[in-house]
Amino acid sequence: MTKKRLLSGIKSTGRTHIGNYFGAMKQWVDLVNDYDSFIMVADYHSLNFVQNAGEMRDLTWNMVIDYLAVGLDPKKVVIFKQSDVSAHTELCWIFDTLITMPFLMRAHAFKDAEAKDKEISVGTFNYPVLMAADILLYGPDVVPVGQDQKQHVEYARDIAEKFNHIFGETFKLPKEMIVENVAVVPGIDGRKMSKSYNNYIPLFAGDDEIEKLCMAIVTDSSGDVPTNVYAIHKLFRSEEELKAIYDEHKGKYKILKEKLIEDVKAFIKPLRDKRRLIAEDTDYIRQVIKEGGERAKEIANKKLVEVKEKIGVN
Ligand code: AMP
């Protein structure tokens, strides 16, 4: 029996944080034996934010190391760079000709950018279409993501349906996979943890950094339980264990933050140690990217040939 397929990825726009890990990466690792998995570094999406060659190379390279450090085994998972597979941008163009501006104007990311009165690049506006191409080329059954990406997977489904309707059955309709209690991991200010809000705890943070960030978690002094501390603590311990700790130290926010610090440190240290070792082996990392790119290209190009035939440009 053939395995079901999974595809996901992260933009290489900064340091990976615990929101990325619990919201998405952990699922990739947990599901590695159940799914035929494709995990990409979404570097062409990053180009909307990172417009410096050195920084781009560095961020992409580091993201691959992060993937390996959390436990993705390249023998079981295809790890690749989006920009290595030109079929993504080619299919994006084909989709661009099928969909309308009002359809894309409904995207949350676009609306948010517009509300902030930002100068919006065509790439940012078109983000959901490139993401649809990223997904649909591989025919995944599921796309494990955090809640913020739900709409983008819906876009991929809508675009696939439209293409299938016009040109005949070509794309499998993908489904988002969102784990409810980690759908939105909060940052140290209580808003969604995000690189752009600068409210994140890096997944490979050093001990000093962990202390500083956890101590800076925003608390109000109205209750026994500091809500934002608890919400982050929940990622590292069961609610049962937390109940004992939070009951014992009711209202003592400093002690509760120290307890959180202990748990975050204990969780991050082995990951950080593993990452340091992997980072030293540059030949291995280069090989992972090369082989992953080749494998991804095989699958994606095959789909693109089918698409080109359907639209009559072969
Ligand atoms: P990005 O950094 O926007 O490329 O996101 C990479 C993945 O991490 C996506 O699946 C996001 O949905 C997920 N993610 C990012 N931030 C959070 C968060 N605060 N809580 C849960 N998932 C998140």
pLDDT tens digits for the chain (314 residues)?
Answer: 789 999 999 999 999 999 999 999 999 999 999 999 999 999 999 999 999 999 999 999 999 999 999 999 999 999 999 999 999 999 999 999 999 999 999 999 899 888 887 789 999 999 999 999 999 999 999 999 999 999 999 999 999 999 999 999 999 999 999 999 899 999 999 999 999 899 999 999 999 999 999 999 999 767 788 999 999 999 999 999 999 999 999 989 999 999 999 999 999 999 999 999 999 999 999 999 999 999 999 999 999 999 999 999 99
> 79 CA distance to ligand 1 centroid (A)?
18
> 107 CA distance to ligand 1 centroid (A)?
16
Q: Which residues line ligand 1 (CB under 6 A)?
A: 10-11, 19-20, 23-24, 145-146, 148-149, 182, 184-185, 192-194
Cα 62 from Cα 41, distance rounded (Å): 10
Which atom of ligand 1 approaches the CA of 8 most closely? 10
- The type of residue at 71 is G
> 166 CA distance to ligand 1 centroid (A)?
33
Domain limits, the chain: 4-184+282-311, 207-277
> 14 CA distance to ligand 1 centroid (A)?
12
Question: Which residue of 10, 20, 28 sits with most ligand 1 atoms within 8 Å of its CB, as the best mutation to test the pocket?
Answer: 20
Measured CA distances, 11 to 16, 195, 238 (Å): 9, 10, 30
Cα 136 from Cα 151, distance rounded (Å): 15
- DSSP string of 256-292, one letter each residue: HHHHHHHHHHHHHHHHHHHHHHHHH-HHHHHHHHHHH
* Range 166-172, long-range pairs (CB < 8 A, 24+ positions): 166/98, 167/307, 167/310, 167/311, 168/310, 170/306, 170/307, 170/310, 171/136, 171/139, 172/136, 172/139, 172/140, 172/141
Which atom of ligand 1 approaches the CA of 10 most closely? 4
> 148 CA distance to ligand 1 centroid (A)?
7
Cα 217 from Cα 191, distance rounded (Å): 11
The encoded tokens of residue 17 equal 């944080």
Strand partners, 10: 41
The Cβ of residue 91 has, within 10 Å, a number of other Cβ atoms equal to 26
The Cβ of residue 299 has, within 10 Å, a number of other Cβ atoms equal to 18
**Which residue in the block uniquely carries the two structure tokens 């943070």?**
205
Cα 236 from Cα 229, distance rounded (Å): 11
Which atom of ligand 1 approaches the CA of 195 most closely? 2
> 67 CA distance to ligand 1 centroid (A)?
14
**pLDDT tens for residues 275-308?**
999 999 999 999 999 999 999 999 999 999 999 9
Question: Which residue of 22, 148, 191, 196 sits with most ligand 1 atoms within 8 Å of its CB, as the best mutation to test the pocket?
Answer: 148
Edge-to-edge strand list for the sheet holding 77-81: 77-81, 35-41, 4-10, 142-144, 175-177
> 146 CA distance to ligand 1 centroid (A)?
5
Cα 279 from Cα 302, distance rounded (Å): 33
* The dihedral formed by the CA atoms of 287, 289, 294 and 298, expressed in degrees to the nearest 10: 140
The encoded tokens of residue 124 equal 């940012």
Which atom of ligand 1 approaches the CA of 145 most closely? 10
| Cβ-contact 177, 143 below 8 angstroms | yes
Which residues are within 8 A (CB) of 106 and not within 5 positions of it... i.e. 6 or more apart? none
Instruction: Kindly report the CATH class assigned to 4-184+282-311.
Output: alpha beta
Half-sphere exposure of 160 (CA within 13 A, CB side): 24
